Amino acid sequence: MTWDIATLLTVSGLQISSIYLLTGLGLVLIFSVTRVIFVPFGDISVFAAITLAGFEAKQVPGTIPLVAAIVVFALVVEVTSRVRRREWRVIPKAVLYWGVLPLVPCGLAWLVGHFGAPAEVQIAASILLVVPVAPALARIALQPIADASVLVLLIVSLALEFVTSGVALLFFGPDGFRTQPLVPGSITLPGGIPLDMQVVLMICVAIIISGLFYLAFQKTTMGKALRATAVNRVGARLVGIRPARASTLAFLAASLLAGFIGVLISPVTTLYYDSGFLIGLKAFVAALIGGLVSYPGTAIGALFVGIFESFASFYSGALKDAIVFGLLIPILIIRSILIVTHEEDPEELDQ
């Protein structure tokens, strides 16, 4: 391998890393607050990308009815549970928060698709459209069993991913798609290596969003409340933070991140209906380096996995995924040696 190739692979690795970084942050956010390992995360990015591709093709994207359907389903679940507990008075509020507000982005996206809009608006509408998806999916499939063990939640989350990617196939078909670069052109690195501006943008956006993410968690009351819920759920309840509300907020923030990831990745990678699964799982490998709870650890993990994958694909494009997942086992073993965990209460699957 020459020096040039190594540099090229590193740059492409950084680009992949930026995606895993943002995905990893979302996954860690969700896991720490809700104990859910949210496998469908990558699918939400794909939804955003498909939406943008639809706008660019001057169509009303198929994601709009899909998101609307998910939202309505979640609304039905929410209202049913309220009715069952005879909480009649909160139903109007539930309809507002779980029905009306989440449908606003759908309407917005429909307007953009129908009448056309500048690229910036298209991008914003694509990101906004997917914001209700994670909270709604969680309301449907995860919140009713929020007290179950991490393992049960993981299995449900995995099954949920099969549902979302399968439904995505029905809605969008098996063809791949790509969107226009957000910024055209390229620059040349010292040594004559060309670098697309899109790649520079991805890396910059990843850094900026991570920074904002950090600030939001350190400085705002909501951010602190989310961290508090992650650290100690009983403690959070004792100061009046409702874990269910904190969970929804975490899913909402993660969904927004997923939207950003979708529009960033679609100009550089051809996406398919099932691409989200692998993006999500590889980001897990990154997040696991931080033990699924550490944001800096996830950042380091993302950097490592991205560059590793880039070099692995140089040696064998077909086996790169196997190599990246194979990497997880030594990572977990090293972690288990380095970090002495307290004995957890045994998890019961069937209770």
Partner 1 sequence: MSTPMLEIGDLHVRYGLVEAVRGVTVTLEAGQIVSVIGPNGAGKTTLLSAAMGLLPSEGVLRFEGADLRRLDVEARVENGLCLVPETRELFGDLSVADNLQLGAYSKHLSRGALRNRLEAVYTRFPRLKERSGQAAATLSGGERQMLAVGRALMAGPRLLMLDEPSLGLAPLIVKEILSIVRGLRDDGVSILLVEQNARAALESSDYGYVLETGEIALSGDSKSLATDERVQATYLGGATAKAS
Partner 2 sequence: MSRAAPLLASVIVALFIALFPLVSGRFMVSLFNEIGIAALVALGLVLLTGVGGAVSFGQAAFVGIAAYATGWLTLTEIPSPWLGLLLALALTFVISLIIGMATLRLAGHFLALSTLAWGIAIPIVFGNVAALGRFSGLADIPAAHLGSLSLASPYRMYYLIWIVVGLSLLFSFNLLRSRTGRAIRGLRGGNTLLASVGANAYWTRVWLFVIAALLAALAGWLYAHTNRFISPSPFDLHASIDYLLMAILGGLGSLFGSVLGAGVVHLLQNELQNILPLFTQYAAQLDAVVVAAIFILLLHFARAGVMGYVLRLYHRWPQPLPTFQPGRNQLVQPLAARPKPEQGKQLLAARGVVKRFGGLIAVNDVSFEVNAGEIVGLIGPNGAGKSTMFNLLTRTLPMSAGHVEFLQQDISKLRQLDVARLGVARTFQHVKLRPRMSLIDNVAMGAYARGRAGMMRAGLRLNRKEEEQIMEEARAQLERVGLVQRAYERAGSLPLGTQRILEIARALTADPVLLLLDEPAAGLRKAEKHALADLLRKLRDDGITILLVEHDMDFVMNLVDRLVVMSFGSKLAEGTPAAVRADAKVQAAYLGSST
Determine if 150 is a binding residue for partner 2 (CB under 8 A): yes
Select 233 or 335, whichever has its Cβ closest to partner 2. 335
Q: Measured between alpha carbons, how far is 127 from 105 in angstroms, rounded to an integer?
A: 9
Select 200 or 328, whichever has its Cβ closest to partner 2. 328
Q: Under 8 Å CB-to-CB from 102, ≥6 apart: which residues?
A: 71, 74, 131, 132, 135, 136
Determine if 159 is a binding residue for partner 2 (CB under 8 A): yes
- The one among 240, 317, 330, 346 contacting partner 1 by CB under 8 A: 240
CB of 299 to partner 1, least distance (A): 17
Determine if 80 is a binding residue for partner 1 (CB under 8 A): no
Which of partner 1, partner 2, none does 242 bind, CB closer than 5 to 8 A by kind? partner 1
Which of partner 1, partner 2, none does 281 bind, CB closer than 5 to 8 A by kind? partner 2
CA-nearest of 41, 254, 79 to 246 is 254
Determine if 158 is a binding residue for partner 2 (CB under 8 A): yes
Determine if 211 is a binding residue for partner 2 (CB under 8 A): no
Which residues within the stretch 327-346 sit at the binding site for partner 2 (CB under 8 A)? 328-329, 332-333, 335-336, 341, 343-346
Q: Under 8 Å CB-to-CB from 139, ≥6 apart: which residues?
A: 74, 77, 78, 98, 248
Which of partner 1, partner 2, none does 221 bind, CB closer than 5 to 8 A by kind? partner 1
Which residues within the stretch 25-54 sit at the binding site for partner 2 (CB under 8 A)? 37
Which of partner 1, partner 2, none does 350 bind, CB closer than 5 to 8 A by kind? partner 2
Virtual torsion, Cα 280, 282, 287, 290, nearest 10 deg: 170
- The one among 59, 80, 232, 336 contacting partner 1 by CB under 8 A: 232
Tokens 């209202």, residue located: 79
- The one among 154, 183, 195, 200 contacting partner 2 by CB under 8 A: 154
- The one among 235, 296, 322, 348 contacting partner 1 by CB under 8 A: 235
Determine if 175 is a binding residue for partner 2 (CB under 8 A): no
CB atoms within 10 A of CB 173: 12
Q: Enumerate binding residues for partner 1 (CB under 8 A).
A: 221, 224-225, 227-228, 231-232, 234-242
Q: Enumerate binding residues for partner 2 (CB under 8 A).
A: 37, 141, 144-145, 148-152, 154-156, 158-160, 162-163, 166-167, 169-170, 174, 281, 284-285, 288, 292, 316, 318-319, 321-323, 325-326, 328-329, 332-333, 335-336, 341, 343-351
